[in-house]
């Protein structure tokens, strides 16, 4: 991975103010007249006062993200050895406890130390205090005996450190980022695909005459001969049948009496806003969450529902493999991109609210079945082949065998792992993000549980 030239780095003082700016570039360290990219590329340098505190930061260009900030310890080995002890005072310095006029300091990692008036730091070997014995660590100087706090918090600096030209080094790691995006649509007919329905000439129905709220549109449920209103975000609300529709089919015997009327000829399942989407890294961590929304791509001040509604976008995503998923939500079923069986499981769980109990009561009914409860405390059982039944209360092996009402036909996978039944995974898709690229769009189908929607009216 190469060092980067042309990057702006800022030096900040203790107040957070920018005092210097530098740009990374190649430096001919060995004066051989050429830049070795591996050892001499990507350097920045600030000349500073050694009695001041500073920090550094880089200015990231668009399309990049900082992935690492590594600070190197440029102090001498002697300084590193002492600072790594993280010495501190423990209650007191216990002056002269060992009879040498010493002061005592404590390290959480290496135990008790003491410093003598001549500035020598020792690690106590243990045992009695008289005679006091210890292993010499370093000759730190009398000023550290006078004020041992100068040894605290990594402050110690040997004489060789004072002669060093480099007092600190911080390297930055950067990666060009990509973008993950996609859309969600209202899967009205719950088949996992975005349908466009040609109604004419098979079906002739008039648009209702009722005025629509701004941004809304009509949607006709041809299977049940009722209308829905799709709002500006793509959400459906039940309207019902069009009572003014006379059922004209253009076949009247007196065409001259036909008034100008508007029929619906075609409809497409709408894109939908407000659906939550999660971006998950390869370790299973949710790294970003967003919701689908309208985006005015052409900046004309108007949202075109077909091209600009229902989008989710994750920007500045570092390279790597991710999962895009849409969590389940009460009253909704995620229909795509999932298998038909998975969609059925999601639908069943949304409709009945299945949950596990402390026991699955395996084979209680002598069918090798396993048991779960629904939200209304009704028992359900699943057979080894994946068929799920609501139990007929009272039926058992002693009075004609286990009986129930079939709720769904799943697969053996759901029998083997009841968690798939009670908490079916949301629709998930794996995407690979590469530097500077936009990953392929991932589209999610969302079916509104219409019985519940209508029942709430």
Q: What is the dihedral of CA 58, 63, 68, 73, to 10 degrees?
A: -20
Query: Do 90 and 46 lie in a common domain?
Result: no
Does any domain span residue 261? no
- Is position 211 within any domain? no
Residue in the block written with tokens 């210890």: 134
Q: Do 67 and 82 belong to one domain?
A: no
**Run of H or E residues at 142:** helix 142-146
Backbone phi, psi, residue 207, to 5°: -65, 140
Q: Determine, yes or no, domain membership for 442.
A: yes
| Burial category of 52 from C-beta neighbours within 10 Å (exposed 0-12, middle 13-18, buried 19 and up) | exposed
Answer yes or no: do 329 and 317 share one domain. yes
Same domain, 280 and 429: yes
**346, 362, 364: which is closest to 354 by C-alpha?**
346
Answer yes or no: is 214 within a domain: no
Q: Beta-strand (E) ranges in 31-81?
A: 55-59, 64-72
Contacts of 403 (CB under 8 A, 6+ apart): 391, 392, 395
Contact 140, 120 (CB under 8 A): yes
Same domain, 69 and 81: no
Residue 133 and residue 58 share a domain = no
Question: Which domain-ending residue is among 176, 204, 232?
Answer: 176
Q: Residue 80: which H helix or E strand, with range?
A: helix 77-83
Among the candidates 143, 176, 209, a domain finishes at 176
From its phi and psi, is residue 215 left (phi > 0), alpha (psi between -120 and 50) or beta? Answer: left
Distance, in Å, from the CA atom of 155 to the CA atom of 53, rounded to the nearest integer, reads: 12
Q: Is position 245 within any domain? A: no
Parallel, antiparallel or unpaired: strands 111-115 and 120-124: antiparallel
Total structural domains within the chain: 3
Q: In what order do the strands lie in the sheet with 427-433?
A: 286-291, 276-280, 320-326, 427-433
E strands present in 367-425: 370-373, 379-382, 387-391, 404-409
CA gap 151, 148 in Å, rounded: 6
- Per DSSP, helices labelled H in 316-423 are 340-352, 412-416, 418-422
Q: Are residues 380 and 294 in the same domain?
A: yes
Residue 60 buriedness (CB in 10 A; 0-12 / 13-18 / 19+): middle
User: In terms of domains, do 15 and 150 share one?
Assistant: no
Identify whether residues 95 and 133 lie together within a single domain. Answer: yes
* Beta bridge mates, 387: 409
67 lies in the same domain as 91:
no
> Could you list the mean pLDDT of each consecutive 10-residue stretch along the chain, which spans 457 residues?
93 94 90 88 88 90 86 70 90 94 94 96 91 91 93 76 64 88 91 82 83 92 91 93 60 46 84 94 91 95 94 89 85 77 78 91 95 95 96 90 93 90 75 70 79 56
Residue 426 falls within a domain, yes or no? yes
**Closest of 194, 169, 214, 217 to residue 72, by C-alpha:** 169
In a domain, 322, yes or no: yes
Q: Identify whether the C-beta of residue 116 lies closer than 8 Å to the C-beta of residue 51.
A: no
Tokens of 377: 């405390």
Give residue 273's pLDDT: 97
CA distance 82 to 137: 8
Per-residue confidence (pLDDT) for residue 197, from 0 to 100: 86
* Predicted local distance difference test score (pLDDT) of residue 144: 93
Using CA atoms of 285, 288, 293, 296 in order, give the dihedral in degrees to the nearest 10: -140
Same-domain pairing of 315 and 396: yes
Tell me: do 141 and 286 sit in the same domain: no
- Strands 8-12, 18-23: pairing kind: antiparallel
Residue 244 lies in a domain: no
Q: How high is the pLDDT of residue 106?
A: 96
Tell me the two tokens of residue 11: 């030096």
Q: Which helix (H) or strand (E) element contains residue 196?
A: strand 196-198
Q: Which of 106, 134, 161 is the last residue of a domain?
A: 161
Q: For 97, which DSSP code?
A: T
pLDDT at 252 (0 to 100): 40
Range of the domain at 87: 77-161
Distances (CA, A) of 155 to 75, 158, 166: 11, 10, 16
pLDDT of residue 254: 44
The per-residue pLDDT for 337 is: 80
Say if CB 138 and CB 79 are below 8 A apart.
Answer: no
| Residues 310, 182: Cα–Cα separation, whole Å | 8
- Predicted structure pTM score: 0.54
């Amino acid at each position: 991975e190469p060092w980067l030239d042309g990057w702006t780095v800022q030096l900040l003082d203790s107040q957070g103010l920018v005092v210097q700016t530098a740009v990374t570039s190649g430096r001919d360290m060995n004066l051989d007249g050429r830049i070795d990219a591996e050892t001499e590329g990507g350097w920045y340098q600030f000349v500073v006062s050694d009695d001041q505190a500073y920090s550094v930061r880089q200015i990231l260009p668009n399309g990049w993200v900082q992935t690492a900030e590594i600070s190197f310890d440029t102090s001498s080995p002697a300084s590193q050895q002492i600072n790594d002890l993280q010495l501190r005072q423990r209650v007191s310095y216990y002056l002269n406890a060992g009879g040498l006029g010493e002061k005592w300091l404590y390290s959480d990692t290496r135990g008790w130390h003491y410093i003598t008036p001549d500035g020598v730091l020792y690690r106590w070997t243990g045992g009695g205090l008289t005679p006091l014995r210890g292993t010499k660590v370093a000759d730190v100087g009398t000023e550290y005996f006078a004020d041992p706090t100068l040894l605290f918090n990594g402050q110690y600096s040997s004489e060789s450190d004072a002669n060093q030209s480099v007092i600190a080094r911080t390297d930055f790691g950067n990666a060009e980022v990509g973008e993950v995006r996609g859309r969600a649509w209202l899967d009205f007919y719950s088949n996992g695909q975005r349908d466009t329905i040609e109604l004419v000439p098979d079906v002739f129905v008039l648009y209702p005459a009722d005025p629509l709220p701004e941004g809304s549109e009509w949607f006709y449920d041809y299977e049940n001969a009722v209308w829905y209103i799709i709002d500006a975000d793509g959400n459906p609300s039940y309207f019902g049948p069009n009572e003014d529709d006379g059922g004209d089919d253009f076949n009247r015997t007196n065409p001259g009496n036909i008034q100008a009327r508007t029929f619906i000829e075609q409809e497409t399942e709408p894109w939908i806003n407000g659906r939550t989407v999660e971006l998950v890294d390869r370790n299973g961590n949710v790294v970003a969450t967003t919701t689908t929304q309208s985006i005015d791509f052409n900046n004309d001040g108007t949202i075109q529902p077909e091209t600009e509604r229902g989008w989710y976008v994750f920007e500045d995503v570092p390279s790597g493999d991710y999962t895009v998923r849409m969590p389940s939500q009460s009253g909704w079923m995620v229909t795509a991109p999932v298998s038909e069986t998975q969609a059925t499981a999601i639908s069943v769980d949304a409709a009945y609210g299945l949950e596990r109990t402390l026991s699955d009561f395996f084979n209680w009914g002598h069918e090798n079945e396993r048991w779960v409860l629904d939200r209304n405390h009704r028992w359900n059982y699943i057979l080894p082949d994946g068929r799920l039944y609501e139990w007929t209360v009272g039926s058992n092996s002693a009075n004609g065998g286990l009986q129930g009402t079939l709720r769904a036909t799943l697969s053996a996978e759901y029998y083997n792992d009841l968690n798939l039944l009670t908490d079916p995974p949301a629709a998930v898709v794996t995407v690979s993000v590469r530097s500077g690229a936009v990953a392929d769009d991932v589209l999610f189908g969302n079916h509104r549980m219409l019985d519940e929607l209508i029942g709430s009216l």
